[in-house]
Structure formats: C-alpha cells, structure tokens
Amino acid sequence: MSDRKEITLTVNGNQVKGKEGDTVLQLCRANNIYVPTLCFMEGLSNVGACRLCVVEIDGERRINPSCTYPARDGLVVRTHTPNLEKYRRLILELMFTERNHFCFFCAASGDCELQAQAYRYQMDHARYPYTFPALPTDTLNDFMVIDHNRCILCGRCVRVCGEVVGNHTLDFSRRGWRTLIAADLNQPLGESSCISCGACLQACPTGAIFSKVSAYRGRTSEGKVIHSICSLCGIGCEIDVLVKDNNIVRIDGANLAGLKGQLCLMGRFQQVYNENQRIITPLIRNKKGDLEPASWEDAMKLITGKIKDYKAYYGASSIAGFASSLCPSETLEAFVKFMRNTIGTSFIDTFDGSGYRAVIQGISTFSKNGKGLEIESPLESIMDADCVMVVGSNPLETHPVAGSYILRAKTQKKVNVIVVDSRPNTFGFRSDIYLRPDNGSEAALLGALEGLVAKKTKSTEKSMRFISLGRAVEKTGLDKDAIQKAAAMLSRAKNPVIVYGDGVLSANNPKLIARLLDLAKLANHDGLKVISLKPRGNSRGAWELGLANQDGMAKIKPKMAYVLFSDDTFETGDWVDQVGQAEFLVAQASYRSQLTDCADVVLPSPIWAERKGKYVSLDGKVGHSQKVLEPSSGIKDDVEIITKLAKGI
C-alpha cells in the first residue's frame, strides 16, 4: 500500500497529511487528532452507526461520520465545533436513555467506552425520559454472559464474529429500537454455533457481553497489563494479561483484529480459571504407599540417589526422560542436557514426539534430500490460499484460531474447503466437501486424489505412484463422485494449502504424510503449501532441540522415568503406558493428574504465568512468553530444579 498517493487536508485549520484511501478518521488518528467513536473498531469494517465520530466537511450539507468518509486531497474538515460537541452529547444522552446503563451494577464499569465518553462529555443527566424495557440476559455460555440491557447496538460483536473469527454466529435480530444481538437463529449463545472464543466479548465497548471468569475481579486501571504470548497451542497468539494483586483478572487478545490476536476459549478463559489441583510442595511416596509432603532436600536427595542407583545397576539407558512441549525452550534445553550429559541416557522424548518422527520420515520419503520442518508454510498462507484441504483435524477444537483463518478465507474470499477425516469431525459440516474415508484408508484416498489432480493439471511428475480411483473407492468406502469432486476442486485451485493435524500426527504413518506432501506439490502451482498443526505451544521448539529424535522410543521399557509435565495435563499416547510400567517414577508437575498420582516423587513446577521463556510456533516463529505472576511460595523454577539435580549427581 506504499504506493498510495499522499494527500493533504485541512483539519481544524491545520494542514495534515495522509494517504489516498484513508478515511477521515484514520487520518485524524494518525495525526493525533482525537475523534470520539463507539462503533468503530480497528480492523473491522466501518459502518458509521453510532454517529459519534461525525465531523463537518466543507461542501457537505450534513454532518458525516469520519469513520466512513473517504479522505480527499483538499478536504476541509472540522472535528470539534460547538455544534458537533453538542450533537455528540445528545447521542450519548439518547444512548443512556435507551437501555439500562446504570453503571453501578455493571461488570464493565470503569472499562466501558460508553461510560468513558459520558464522562468526557460531562453527561451528568439526560434530558429525555428513560425508555428501557427489561431485556433478557443470556447466561448459557460457559464463559460469557450477554446482557442485552447494556447493549448499544454498535455491532462490533457482530462484525468481529463474522469478519475476524469467521464464525458468523452473531447477528442483529428484529429492527429499530427493538433490535437485539442474536446468536444463530435466536439461540442462547451456549447452544449456538459459538466457539466461545470471546472475541465478541473483547470487542464489546460496554458491559453487554462480559466474562464469567473476569467479571467484578478488577478494572484495567487497578492492575497491570503485561504483554505476552499464549503458549498453549503452536499458534502463539499475542496476549495482554491483566494482573491485579498477583492474580490474573483477564486475558485479552493483544491485537484482536490482526492475525494471532483473537484468541480461543483456552487461551482467553481456561488460563484464567480452571479446576486443576495445584501441586505446591514436593511429595514423596511413604511406606504406606501414599504421597506425602516432603522437603525439597529430601525429595531431591531421593531422586539423585535413585538416578545413581539405576545407573549403577542397570546402566544409564534404563532411565528415560519425557518432557512436555508446553515448556519453554530454556527448560527443555536444560532437560536435554540433564538427561543426555548428566545421566547419559539417549532415551528422551516429548509427549508428542511420535508425531514428529512420522513427520520427519514423511518429509524424507517425499523429498529425499534431508529437508525438515522448514518445508512447511507459515500459518498466514491460509489467508492467501484459494482452496484449503484439512486432513485429520478439527482445527476449531485443537487450534481454534487456525480454524478461524480457514472460516474467514471461506466466508470472505469464498475459498473452497475440503475436510478429510476418518473420525467424525464437525468441521466437515463447515466445509464444501467432507470426505470420511474408512479408518486407515486416508493414504489410499490421497493417492487417488494425486492421480486425478495429476491428470487434470497435466502434470509430468514421474516419481509418484498414484492409486486408481477404483481401488480408492474400494479401500475408503467413499463415493466415486465425491472423490472426483474434491480432485476437481483441488485442480481448479492455483494456490491450495493442506493443513493436517492430530489425526495424522497420531496415526504413526509416515507414508500418509508423504502422500499429503505429494498431493500438495502436485496441486499447488508455485510450490508446496503444507501446515501441520502441532499440538503444543513449543512442540516445534522441542523437536528442533532434538528431544524427539530417538528412534525406537516406543519399544523401550525404562526402569526409571523422569517426566517433566510442568503445567501440562494432557495424558495420552504410548509413552504414558511405558512410563506407568517404570519401577520408579519422578514427576515434575504443576497440577495433580493420574500420572502424578502414581509417581514416587513429585516436584512442584511453575505454571505458564510464573515463568518466562522462548517458544517456537508451529510455523517456526520465535516468541517470548513473559512472567506475569510471582510464583506461589515454595515454587521453584524448572531450570533451577534440574540444574540442582544435575549438581547432586
């Protein structure tokens, strides 16, 4: 956009510069001229509904909202004449009479844009009678409440839900002053298509949508906002954490309308409030077999002792280490060093390591020239794609923000979406083509798609071996037409992206991944666009640190296992059984879980908010998570614990 022509306007008698294509409001903001707004929100479409941002423009008979008025060279604009200010005050008065805006009882009081404007305009009373009816409140969503009595119908929630989240749950229902925000066809939010991402809540300028986990726990001005990143999944959304009295009050997306700023229910709500049971002191299994609080010294001594014993009796390779890739790279690095150098075992892994091994083998089958994860595409490439194929994943469940990108591409750019999953997958209902091959037959389906795409695009590719349509129909149990349609859709596209997720990663099938890559290469005109949705915030970081390199992990039977959970509570995969069978189990964890319950020693670990560190997103971007809380007393940093243990050996 740098080639936009520069223009000069006169605003309040001063010459100000901007670019052609700016709105008058954009230009004012860029030049530090404050114009009040309510329905405007950066990154959303401009509707000119609230009328607060009206300005006078020479040559216009009426006052016009600056948020929708295109700036032109030579325009003469006035933003703060007495008439305009009077007019704005009138609008505020009218808004205050429309519905119940008694701030006293409102969760947003102090953080409300309407209230702030009223103060700004010294609106001490309204000259018009209150007209508000008693409107219902929708409390059925787990995390959010919609209180229509506070709604000013600015439509920010509607726009953010459609334009940013791509979910299109919210809309206006009814008309005139009877208008209400409604989810789907007037369902309660909790029973609607809402994915509880909370973007609407963050967009709402008033207390009309508020968070059950944050309400009445503190205003922004009472606490401190710390910018950080969310470390839950591999997207790495940017967050603003409001902390008051060493408690997290609220988590906002740092850049709601931009990429990686809208958050999902896990990042926004579940990190503020969950029902996990925190481990706050070291625990040791006593003679009776119960876990019992112990001192750090005792616990550490026990662990170093056991390590020495097992090493001495069975050798270092009787000990295996597992770490969650929710941990930042610094912790993981220390862990790798500790296991490899201090203990001397090569049996280390992350909870999601088997997925990595499948990916790497798949890539090497595909390219045979030693390439790795770098062949994958950045997440944003979804937004430029003209077709998205989702394989073995419901992104709205595992990586909701990635799901949003796909929905946005679909609804805004009419991008075709194909979903392939042998498991039931509700994302399939949001797609144009939903293919459900029989379990284990995905590779056959992809092989057939390759053949069809190669034919349609007249590919000269020789190295790939396709699967015939007939054979694929037989293996997958799918309709011939459906496969052909999907192939046609892929062939029509010039820039398709293939996104795959947990279904593929956990299938332990490198051939499937190689197929996927083949197909992506055939279908895309300028290369290869593939994204794997890695499960945890630092999966890629852990993999790149070599934590998951060890082949044959699935076969080992460790005598002693050291598991660094940190705040991970996600316990599935083969490694859980392996660990369960170890004679001696050490768990370093923030929360109680089934595995910590059968550990012999447990060390408390900080949670995400109590540590800082480096994270590598699923598409390889490095981010830094900040320490937003002082750790609870008795909690030591993971690196510190590991270093101390190393010293003890």
Partner 1 sequence: MTVIASQDIASTFQNIRDHALSRWQELWDGSKPIIMVSAATCGRSAGALEVLEAVKDELSRGQQDVQVMEVGCMGHCYAEPLVIIKKPGNPTVVYGYITPEKARRLVKDYIQGEDISPEFALGALEENELIPSIYDLPRFKHEKYILLENIGRIDPEDIDQYIAKGGYEALANALQMQPEDIIEEVRKSGLRGRGGAGFSTAQKWEVCRSSPGKIKYLICNADEGDPGAFMDRAILESDPHSVIEGMLIAAYTIGARHGYIYVRAEYPLAVHRAEIALEQAEGLGLLGKNILGSSFSFDIKPFQGSGAFVCGEETALIASLEGKPGLPHHRPPFPATSGLNGKPTVINNVKTLAYVPPIIRNGADWFASIGTEKSKGTAVFALAGKVVNTGLTEVPMGTTLRQIIFDVGGGIPKGRRFKAVQIGGPSGGCLPESALDMPIDFDSLKEVGAMMGSGGMVVLDEDDCMVEVARYFLEFTQRESCGKCTMCRLGTRQMLSMLEDFTCGRGQMQDLETLKELAEDVRIGSLCGLGRTSPNPVLTTMRYFRDEYKAHIEEKRCPALMCHDLIAYYILPEKCERSCDACVGTCTVEAISSNKQRVKVIDQAKCVKCGTCLTACPLQYNAVIKLSPPDKVPAAKG
**Count residues contacting partner 1 (CB under 8 A)?**
36
Helix/strand/coil for 437: coil
Closest distance between ligand SF4 and the C-beta of residue 48, in Å? 9
The interface partner of residue 119, options being ligand SF4, partner 1, none and the CB cut-off 5 to 8 Å by kind, is none
The interface partner of residue 209, options being ligand SF4, partner 1, none and the CB cut-off 5 to 8 Å by kind, is ligand SF4
Helix/strand/coil for 148: helix
Closest distance between ligand SF4 and the C-beta of residue 206, in Å? 5
Residues at the contact surface with ligand SF4, assessed by CB under 6 A: 151-157, 160-161, 165, 167, 169-170, 181, 194-200, 203-206, 208-209
Q: 28-47 mask for partner 1 (x: CB under 8 A)?
A: ------------------xx
Which residue among 19, 43, 80, 90 contacts partner 1 (CB under 8 A)? Answer: 90
**Cα(400)–Cα(194) distance, rounded to whole angstroms?**
12
Q: Is 5 in the site for partner 1 (CB under 8 A)?
A: no
Which residue among 13, 59, 129, 289 contacts partner 1 (CB under 8 A)? Answer: 129
Judged by beta carbon, residue 152 or residue 498, the one nearer ligand SF4 is: 152
Closest distance between ligand SF4 and the C-beta of residue 119, in Å? 18
Residue 517's nearest CA partner among 298, 317, 371 is 371
Structure tokens at 366: 């595909």
Largest Cα–Cα distance in the chain?
92
Q: Is 94 in the site for partner 1 (CB under 8 A)?
A: yes
The interface partner of residue 65, options being partner 1, ligand SF4, none and the CB cut-off 5 to 8 Å by kind, is partner 1
123 within 8 A of 114, measured Cβ to Cβ: no
Helix/strand/coil for 367: helix
**Cα(560)–Cα(196) distance, rounded to whole angstroms?**
42
**Cα(590)–Cα(603) distance, rounded to whole angstroms?**
8
Q: Which amino acid is at 598?
A: C
**Cα(179)–Cα(153) distance, rounded to whole angstroms?**
8
Cβ burial of 638 (10 Å; 0-12, 13-18, 19+) is: buried
**Cα(74)–Cα(16) distance, rounded to whole angstroms?**
10
Closest distance between ligand SF4 and the C-beta of residue 244, in Å? 23
347 within 8 A of 310, measured Cβ to Cβ: no
Q: Is 186 in the site for partner 1 (CB under 8 A)?
A: no
The interface partner of residue 131, options being partner 1, ligand SF4, none and the CB cut-off 5 to 8 Å by kind, is partner 1
Judged by beta carbon, residue 61 or residue 555, the one nearer partner 1 is: 61
Judged by beta carbon, residue 98 or residue 567, the one nearer ligand SF4 is: 98
Structure tokens at 97: 């009479």
Closest distance between partner 1 and the C-beta of residue 163, in Å? 14
Judged by beta carbon, residue 175 or residue 555, the one nearer partner 1 is: 175
Closest distance between partner 1 and the C-beta of residue 475, in Å? 41
**Cα(195)–Cα(144) distance, rounded to whole angstroms?**
11
The interface partner of residue 90, options being ligand SF4, partner 1, none and the CB cut-off 5 to 8 Å by kind, is partner 1
Q: 142-181 mask for partner 1 (x: CB under 8 A)?
A: ----------xx-x---------------xx-xxxxxx--
Closest distance between partner 1 and the C-beta of residue 128, in Å? 5
Judged by beta carbon, residue 50 or residue 359, the one nearer partner 1 is: 50
Helix/strand/coil for 388: strand
Residue 439's nearest CA partner among 397, 406, 392, 485 is 392
Instruction: Give the per-residue SS3 of 521-571.
Output: HHHCCCCCCEEECCCCCCHHHHHHCCCCCCCCHHHCCCCEEEEEEECCCCC
Judged by beta carbon, residue 96 or residue 575, the one nearer ligand SF4 is: 96
Near partner 1 by CB under 8 A, which window of 85-93, 334-342, 483-491, 630-638?
85-93
Which residue among 12, 49, 296, 508 contacts partner 1 (CB under 8 A)? Answer: 49
Which residue among 55, 75, 95, 363 contacts partner 1 (CB under 8 A)? Answer: 95
Judged by beta carbon, residue 204 or residue 388, the one nearer ligand SF4 is: 204
Near partner 1 by CB under 8 A, which window of 63-71, 232-240, 276-284, 380-388?
63-71
Q: Which residue pairs from 637-642 have beta carbons closer than 8 angstroms and sit at least 24 positions apart in sequence?
A: 637/606, 637/611, 638/327, 638/331, 638/334, 638/335, 638/564, 638/566, 638/588, 638/605, 638/606, 638/611, 639/330, 639/331, 639/334, 641/300, 641/588, 641/603, 641/605, 642/331, 642/334, 642/335, 642/338, 642/564
Q: Is 68 in the site for partner 1 (CB under 8 A)?
A: yes
Closest distance between partner 1 and the C-beta of residue 127, in Å? 6
The interface partner of residue 97, options being partner 1, ligand SF4, none and the CB cut-off 5 to 8 Å by kind, is partner 1
Closest distance between partner 1 and the C-beta of residue 95, in Å? 6
Which residue among 29, 51, 250, 529 contacts partner 1 (CB under 8 A)? Answer: 51
468 within 8 A of 451, measured Cβ to Cβ: yes
**Cα(562)–Cα(566) distance, rounded to whole angstroms?**
12
Judged by beta carbon, residue 83 or residue 468, the one nearer partner 1 is: 83
The interface partner of residue 129, options being ligand SF4, partner 1, none and the CB cut-off 5 to 8 Å by kind, is partner 1
Structure tokens at 627: 């320490």
Q: Which residue pairs from 478-483 have beta carbons closer than 8 angstroms and sit at least 24 positions apart in sequence?
A: 478/435, 478/436, 478/437, 478/445, 482/433, 482/435, 483/435, 483/445, 483/448, 483/449, 483/452
Which residue among 5, 6, 15, 62 contacts partner 1 (CB under 8 A)? Answer: 62
Which residue stretches of 169-294 are H helix?
199-203, 265
Judged by beta carbon, residue 184 or residue 571, the one nearer partner 1 is: 184
The interface partner of residue 316, options being partner 1, ligand SF4, none and the CB cut-off 5 to 8 Å by kind, is none
**Cα(293)–Cα(285) distance, rounded to whole angstroms?**
9
Q: Which helix (H) or strand (E) segment is 176 a member of? A: none
Binding residues (CB under 8 A) for partner 1: these are 46-51, 54, 61-63, 65, 68-70, 87, 90-91, 94-95, 97-98, 127-129, 131, 152-153, 155, 171-172, 174-179
